[in-house]
Structure 1
Amino acid sequence: MTETTPSKFISDTPERRNDRIRRVITHLKDGTTDSYDEISTISATEYTDPALAVAEREFVFGAVPSIVAHGSEIPTPGKFVTVEMPRNKIIVVRQKDGSVKAFVNACRHRGAMLETAKSGHCRIFSCPYHRWSYDTDGSLRTITRGDTFGDLDQTDLSLAEIPCEERHGFVWVIDRVGATIDVAGWLGEEMDTILASYDMDRYTCFRAGSFTEPVNWKLMQDAFLDGYHIQYAHPNTAGKYIHTNVSVLEDFGRHCRWIKPRKSIDRWIDEDPADRPMDKYLIETHFLGPNSTLLKQPDHIELLTFRPHPTDPGQSIFEMRVIPPKVEDTDLDEEKWTALWEKNWDILLRVLHAEDFPIMRGIQAAMQSGDVAPMYLGKNELANQIFRRELFALLEKDSQ
């Protein structure tokens, strides 16, 4: 199978899902996988060039929606998270009416950061420098000692607002004041329909973690679109349970979805599974452009997000989230529910930090060499090819 242009989406049915599973089983029998139509070359400068890093910040993250939180992280009015975006430091806060807004995290007086905590709850945002204060809707509430400061129109001194929308359980922003956000339009009918079917607004974020790594964000994103390295980078962990270099992928243009087989599926290689439920034998992975990988496990969601560092192309900010059903929607008591997701969190953290990240750090270090030869993406690295295709499309569109 060759995917070089987006495929037309047809609403999922059990029959179509079974067809994808049978294609996976056929690949396992034949030693094949879905593939791209050509090999691509990569230059080391893609991970080190400051000018390219500026273009990515401006024309990718400053132009299209990306995920910054799950809605359950800010469940009630006044709850907020702070986020380091490529262009702006922002505050994302739940409003009194239940909606979500995002603002540049800087006082309109002299620019002091209003919030330095990763998360919290507040009734107002109060500047630590001169105590100007703002309501959670961003409007200026108080100018301290205003009778001596001078006349200002407070309606013109609201916090700079970042476009923000909550959809499919996630909070999305475009990292540019004045941009217009349309998450459904960005996702397209295909991925918007798929995400809606998962009911992720009914889930809860068990834990979110943020890490700064000395690695370009594209190297990090590539690692989690790649099913080619599992056997080699994770021989004693994921490699024991997940097949390497086997996937069936649907290309939706800006985004894609693919299934990878667990080794437990091997029992069906020589036996037709018919209409048996097969979810437990698969991992369903989604690339949500421009910078997230969503893994749909049989009983929970994992979201991995990668952002450029605001100034250094040799660094990135990585966020990971484990998002299961709420305890009341399971047959577990709170203690067992917590223990289960603590275990899942620890496994994910250990595999990423002990196995993936050291390799990524080594690649970034190697990219600093003066004579790195051209590198390659194979036809079998299909999701990675789509990521690069869509990233370059955004950069080329805004350079014309």
Structure 2
Amino acid sequence: MTTSLPREDRIRRALELLRNETTDKFDDVVEFEPGEFTDPVLAQEERDHIFGVVPSIVAHSSELAKPNDFMTVTMPRNNLIVVRQKDGGVKAFVNLCRHRGALLEEKEKGRCRIFSCAYHRWSYDPNGKLRTITRDTTFGDVDRSEHGLIEVPCEERHGFIWVVDNAKATIDVASWLGGEMDAILAEYHLDDYVCAKAGGFDEPTNWKIMQDAFLDGYHIQYAHPNTAGKIIHTNVMAFEDFGRHCRFIAPRKSIDRFLEEDPGEQRLDKHVTETHFLLPNSTLLRQPDHFQLLTFRPHPSDPTRSRMEQRLIVPKVEDSGLEPARWERLWDKNWDILLAVLHSEDFPLLRESQRGMASADAGGMMLGRNEVANQVFRRETRKLLAAGRDAAQ
């Protein structure tokens, strides 16, 4: 655990690491087995003991801006409908009619005053209450208060909507984040931002391979030589370990003028990218003028598949100082660049990594001392799995 330094002090520490051609490091190299990315038993444990226990982000608040706005989410354990309530709160329900189990809502997002099942037209209010049983005089007696939609724990905090993927669980995002990370996110006022762009991608890759790639500052010049490798320094991270969560600053190459020159009182924040890992499955990148949120979810049954979602979280038009058309062009261009890198560089590499992990004689593998955020990810998911196994005994 570390005590957080002011941002400019942390940036100067990253600059000093760069001058010394080094990075923050863990004590030891850590070994792991390729079976962690293919084992169906382990995948079930992850769904139950990680996603069924702890909060994870499913959306930015602005994506459900008005009452009755909804989105559907495929979580590792449940298909969910997440819906903004009349009182401004947010609830999440299992996306399933309580009559015969038909999927209640197929659209990815929308606005709806009533959720109606296509099979027999039973309907539900946005608060989950059973509203209509068609031809109820012939159906039989039903206590409607006992047959509303199944609710899962949901909480809105720091501009994000979080769920625990388990109807029997509880949720307390502040407690899960811990004092340091909760305070860090509060400082960003992300509830004053909007999600300008969002996209989801179903990939033939284990979720941990995906998450690992977006915590890794070691691969940049090798996997992205003509894109990110031209902008961000490789293998230089000023790192903070908060236990469950962590963050690190990576210097951009625009900072190089200060390798020999003392920056004095000059602010250096435009010369860095700051990455936050929020256990279990989110990477929040703080860029000089916006944020990106990357989330990675296991497939509900197949350990070799996962879903990545990317969100571009930016100042509102009225807060940006830009004309609406220019604002739109800026974030469209930014989004197109991000997608091009994902689809041409990241995804092909990770798909082949997953294919290689299936080799019968793959052998043991390792994380280096320099792969600090990856070590936190593995350390903390192993703790959750151990706690779940102990509780199940």
TM-score (norm 1): 0.96
SS at match of 1:332: coil
Name structure 2 gaps, 5 residues minimum: none
Q: Which residue is equivalent to 2:238?
A: 248
1:98 equivalenced with 2:91 (yes/no): no
What is the rounded CA distance, in whole Å, between the counterparts of 1:17 and 1:113 in structure 2? 47
Where does 1:125-144 land on structure 2 (aligned, <5 Å)? 125-144=115-134
Q: Runs of at least 4 residues of structure 1 off by over 4 A? A: none
> Quick one: which of 323, 330, 335 aligns to 2:325?
335
Q: Which residue is equivalent to 1:227?
A: 217
Deviation string, structure 1 residues 108-149 (Cα, Å, up to 9, x no partner): 000111111100000010010001100000000011110100
Where does 1:360-379 land on structure 2 (aligned, <5 Å)? 360-379=350-369
| Structure 1 contact 114–126 (Cα < 8 Å) conserved | yes
Residue type of the alignment partner of 2:124 = Y
CA RMSD of aligned residues (A): 0.8
Q: Which residue is equivalent to 2:51?
A: 61
Deviation at 1:87, TM superposition (A): 0.2
Residue type of the alignment partner of 1:366 = G
Q: Which residue is equivalent to 1:311?
A: 301
Q: Which residue is equivalent to 1:325?
A: 315
| Structure 1 contact 63–176 (Cα < 8 Å) conserved | yes
> Quick one: which of 246, 252, 271 aligns to 1:281?
271
Name structure 1 gaps, 5 residues minimum: 1-5
Q: Which residue is equivalent to 1:166?
A: 156
Q: Which residue is equivalent to 2:200?
A: 210
Q: Which residue is equivalent to 2:261?
A: 271
SS at match of 1:305: strand
Q: Which residue is equivalent to 1:114?
A: 104
Q: Which residue is equivalent to 2:165?
A: 175
Deviation at 1:20, TM superposition (A): 1.5
> Quick one: which of 32, 35, 40 aligns to 2:25?
35
SS at match of 1:128: coil
Deviation string, structure 1 residues 262-315 (Cα, Å, up to 9, x no partner): 000011111221221111100011001000000011111100000000000000
| Structure 1 contact 18–275 (Cα < 8 Å) conserved | no
Residue type of the alignment partner of 1:363 = S
What is the rounded CA distance, in whole Å, between the counterparts of 2:336 and 2:384 in structure 1? 36
Deviation string, structure 1 residues 358-384 (Cα, Å, up to 9, x no partner): 110001000111100111100000000
Residue type of the alignment partner of 2:73 = V
- Number of residues paired by the alignment? 390
Identity of aligned residues (%): 63
Residue type of the alignment partner of 1:215 = T
Deviation string, structure 1 residues 208-228 (Cα, Å, up to 9, x no partner): 111100000000000000000
Deviation at 1:19, TM superposition (A): 2.3
1:85 equivalenced with 2:75 (yes/no): yes
TM-score (norm 2): 0.98
| Structure 2 contact 80–94 (Cα < 8 Å) conserved | yes
| Structure 1 contact 293–305 (Cα < 8 Å) conserved | yes
| Structure 1 contact 39–379 (Cα < 8 Å) conserved | yes
Residue type of the alignment partner of 2:53 = A
What is the rounded CA distance, in whole Å, between the counterparts of 1:112 and 1:84 in structure 2? 15
SS at match of 1:68: strand
Deviation at 1:17, TM superposition (A): 2.4
Deviation at 1:352, TM superposition (A): 1.1
| Structure 1 contact 295–302 (Cα < 8 Å) conserved | yes
| Structure 1 contact 286–294 (Cα < 8 Å) conserved | yes
What is the rounded CA distance, in whole Å, between the counterparts of 1:336 and 1:132 in structure 2? 46
1:290 equivalenced with 2:269 (yes/no): no
| Structure 1 contact 292–304 (Cα < 8 Å) conserved | yes
